[in-house]
Amino acid sequence: MSACLFCRIAAHEVPAQIVAETPELLAFTDINPQAPTHVLIIPKRHLGGVPDLTDEHAGLLAHVMRVATHVAQASGIAASGFRLVVNSGPDAGQSVAHVHWHLLGGRRMAWPPG
Amino acid sequence: MSACLFCRIAAHEVPAQIVAETPELLAFTDINPQAPTHVLIIPKRHLGGVPDLTDEHAGLLAHVMRVATHVAQASGIAASGFRLVVNSGPDAGQSVAHVHWHLLGGRRMAWPPG
């Protein structure tokens, strides 16, 4: 069994409120939501963070954007807008060392972004 | 001459403090920085926003991640960490309708991300 929380969620070993799933990606509600819509999008295969993303992951990255747009549409916030956030490393507050995209919307997002 | 500010910056018609440039992408300092490092990464070719990103842009998206990691390394914040943010639409505060990735670091980033 993997020690990585997001690998375990991807393997359906740990429950999550799943909003979209493809063979490559899982999208689920953040357990500590910061906006009316706050979804995490993760690759099912373990990848640590942004510095691990190479040309090999090009298709995956395009897929993340398509799933983000799909989730925004399904949540009714495609037109009102949404923010995508990826944290890399301690200063950014990356809480799980498995790369994940936060999708937030359904309210006016403030600036700066944290 | 394009009416899009970021197209004009990409074409070097409007000056910017450029930190990285490739045939496809430009990275330059945000004119209203929100962190010690605050760089915008844009595709040179006009793309409106996240919903416009398709499989056609897979290579571009991988390239954005590589440039982000390069800029973080060159800024000395690869280990301390950085946040990548993309705003899509009015609620997110997308200020220029040309897709751009904000890279922020050099300080502890707060949560929520805006």
Domains and CATH numbers, chain B: 5-105 (3.30.428.10)
| A52: closest CA of chain B, how far (Å) | 9
Q: Would you state the pLDDT for residue B35?
A: 98
Rounded (to 5) percent helix, strand, coil in chain B:
30, 25, 45
Q: Smallest Cβ distance to B90: which of A58, A80, A84?
A: A80
Q: Would you state the pLDDT for residue A2?
A: 79
Q: Would you state the pLDDT for residue B2?
A: 79
B72-101 confidence digits (pLDDT tens): 999 999 999 999 999 999 999 999 999 999
Q: Which portions of chain B are predicted below pLDDT 70?
A: 1
Encode B25-66 in three state secondary structure. Answer: EEEEECCCCCCCEEEEEEECCCCCCHHHCCHHHHHHHHHHHH
Q: Does A83 contact B80 at a Cβ distance shorter than 8 Å?
A: no
- Name the token pair of A76: 């009714």
- Going residue by residue through chain A (114 aa), what tens digit of pLDDT does each one get? 678 999 999 999 999 999 999 999 999 999 999 999 999 999 999 999 999 999 999 999 999 999 999 999 999 999 999 999 999 999 999 999 999 999 999 999 999 999
B22 interfaces chain A, CB cutoff of 8 Å: no
- Name the token pair of A68: 């983000």
Looking at chain A from residue 65 to 94, which residues have their Cβ under 8 Å from any Cβ of chain B? 65-66, 68-69, 72, 77-94
B106 interfaces chain A, CB cutoff of 8 Å: yes
Strands B101-105 and A37-43: unpaired
Examine the residue annotation and report whether B100 is marked as an active-site residue of this protein.
yes
Whole-prediction pTM: 0.97
ipTM of the assembly? 0.97
Give me the amino acid identity at A88: S
For residue A89, the chain B residues in CB contact (below 8 A) are 78-82
Q: Smallest Cβ distance to B88: which of A51, A81, A89?
A: A81
> B38, B98, B100, B102: which is the annotated catalytic residue?
B100
